Structure 1
Amino acid sequence: MSLQKNGENDSLNIFVRLLFLIPIRKEIPLLKLGGKGITLRHETDSPFAEGNRKTDRISYQEIQKIRRGMKEWIDRIRDFYCIIQGFLAKIKVKRFSWHTELGTEDAALTAILVGLLWNLKGVTLMGLGHFMILTESPEIRVIPHYAGERFRTYLDLTLRFSLGQAIKTAILLIWNLRKGREKSWKSILFRA
């Protein structure tokens, strides 16, 4: 997966290889935030896709509805975070490279923002190393531009995990979804 942002140009490239045989490539070249919502324009090179260019619009109300639905779904699954943490522990990060160029016209503000960005990248890397296996040392870089306004970022991330682990995690999530979530305060009251 690689993510690039250069001024107004956004690009998200996702490449997945299933069973080392079936390549699926998806490119999302434009992510536009507007007053009415988010516009996605993307292309795909997949043997399963019907067309290769598509434009989607997502309103802010739809985003809130999806977020509420996901929260309700997560609340119904018993031990959701333990299951996901167990899956994340099996993921190997083969490559992590994150380069950013940042600049404003004010040099002092640029220095403060660069320090905050280093902090953000450090915390992100710490969380990544805590939950996943880092096989190579990550490469992070922040380049300040004190003379003018500039924002460019490039993130290259390669993850490897077993398809069997993903299937096992999906089965565990479905199994615990059927059981539902018992409210702990109700079960404590009736045990007395």
Structure 2
Amino acid sequence: MEFVLSLYPFYIATMLLLLLVPVRINLFFVRENKDDFLTIRVNTLFSLIRFNIEVPILQQETPLDLTLEAELKAGQDKLVREEKEKLSALEFHWEKLQIFLDYLQKNKQVLSFMARFYTRALTVEKLVLRVRAGVDDAALTAQLCGLYWAVTGTLKQFVQKRLNFTGEPVFTIDPDFSSQPVFAVKLDTVIALRIGHFTVMGPLLLWTIIRGGRKKDE
């Protein structure tokens, strides 16, 4: 028993060090005309634990239907699960939307506190947004590029005031003056948190989920 008690300081020190370990989340999105690719990579413990979610196919068969295929991979890109799902606006469940809105309404103060906490806690290590766009009218293409610079300039100031950046966010646009409409987007961003941030806010988020939304008789 005395031996176990003597190890308590070691356990406590190990747990404290574990809470300081960073968790990096990389969001990478590419759209080239009608082709889309989205991947979310998560790694922690100095890349000993890592997994990623890939959505290599996002197809719109009709204006109201969307088909996606997602892959969950772990470690050295080992496939854990593969899913294919078809989403349709005609099959939208308004009851689930109402339940979600009730959940937000009932827990808005707690969720707002959590949002402010994570906004201050996270660090944006990389934010790059590159756009290549053009229409069949060169003058209109130039106007759209000017609008892009105006919007991203305001957005850049907004995010820099509210988030912690280790580097300068990058927003670029390459106008395409060809005769065919072109639209391509590349978004690459990396944010970092610590395991302790999830440990602190995890029970609070779990409590809001258990609490749910408003009751029917309210």
TM-score calculated relative to the size of structure 2:
0.71
> What one-letter code is carried by the residue in structure 2 that aligns with 1:166?
F
Moved more, 42-51 or 166-175: 42-51
- Give the counterpart of 1:130 among 161, 165, 186: 161
Distance 2:158 2:105 in 1: 23
Pair 1:11 & 2:40 matched: no
Residue 87 of structure 1: CA displacement?
1.2
- Give the counterpart of 2:92 among 46, 59, 62: 62
- Give the counterpart of 2:150 among 95, 119, 133: 119
- Give the counterpart of 1:22 among 46, 49, 54: 49
Equivalent pair of 1:85/1:131 in contact (CA under 8 Å): no
Distance 1:147 1:35 in 2: 27
Residue 69 of structure 1: CA displacement?
3.0
Q: Partner of 1:186 in structure 2?
A: none
Pair 1:164 & 2:190 matched: no
Residue 135 of structure 1: CA displacement?
1.0
Moved more, 131-140 or 58-67: 58-67
Distance 2:183 2:107 in 1: 40
SS of alignment partner, residue 185 of structure 2? strand
> What one-letter code is carried by the residue in structure 1 that aligns with 2:74?
S
Equivalent pair of 1:110/1:145 in contact (CA under 8 Å): yes
Give the fraction of aligned pairs with identical amino acids, expressed as a percent: 22
CA shift in 2, pair 1:166/1:130, >3 Å: farther
TM-score calculated relative to the size of structure 1:
0.80
Aligned pairs, number: 181
- Give the counterpart of 1:72 among 83, 102, 116: 102
Gaps of 5+ in 1: 183-192
Residue 82 of structure 1: CA displacement?
2.5
Residue 176 of structure 1: CA displacement?
5.6
Moved more, 9-18 or 150-159: 9-18
Equivalent pair of 1:4/1:152 in contact (CA under 8 Å): yes
CA shift in 2, pair 1:180/1:55, >3 Å: closer
> What one-letter code is carried by the residue in structure 2 that aligns with 1:39?
T
Moved more, 79-88 or 92-101: 79-88
CA shift in 2, pair 1:8/1:177, >3 Å: closer
Gaps of 5+ in 2: 1-26
CA shift in 2, pair 1:178/1:43, >3 Å: closer
> What one-letter code is carried by the residue in structure 1 that aligns with 2:83?
K
Distance 2:99 2:208 in 1: 17
Determine which structure has more spread, i.e. the larger CA radius of gyration: 2
Pair 1:141 & 2:172 matched: yes
